[in-house]
Amino acid sequence: MKIALLGAESTGKTWLAGALAQHLGDAGHDVAVVGEVLREWCVREGRTPRADEQLAIAQEQARRVLQASARIVIADTTPLMTAVYSELLFADRSLYAEALAHHAAYDLTLLMGLDLPWVADGLQRDGPHVREPVDALVRAALSRAGLGWQMVYGQDGARLQNALFAINSVAGQQGLAGAGGRFLPQNAAWTCEKCSDPDCEHRLFTGRLGLPAG
Per run of 10 residues, the mean pLDDT along the chain (length 214 residues) is 93 93 93 95 93 98 97 96 96 98 96 82 64 94 95 87 87 53 48 44 43 34
Does some domain include residue 168? Answer: yes
Does some domain include residue 214? Answer: no
pLDDT of the residue at 19: 95
pLDDT of the residue at 160: 92
**Which CATH number do you get for residue 31?**
3.40.50.300
Please state whether the predicted TM-score (pTM) of the whole model is above 0.85.
no
Query: What's the structural domain count of the chain?
Result: 1
Give the bridge partners for 108, in sequence order: 3
pLDDT of the residue at 171: 72
Range of the domain at 103: 2-206
pLDDT of the residue at 130: 84
Count how many Cα atoms sit within 13 Å of the Cα of residue 127 in the half-sphere of its side chain.
Answer: 2
Q: How far apart are CA 213 and CA 143, in angstroms?
A: 9
Does some domain include residue 211? Answer: no
Q: How many CB atoms lie within 10 A of CB 198?
A: 9
Does some domain include residue 43? Answer: yes
Does some domain include residue 107? Answer: yes
pLDDT of the residue at 17: 96
Does some domain include residue 21? Answer: yes
Does some domain include residue 17? Answer: yes
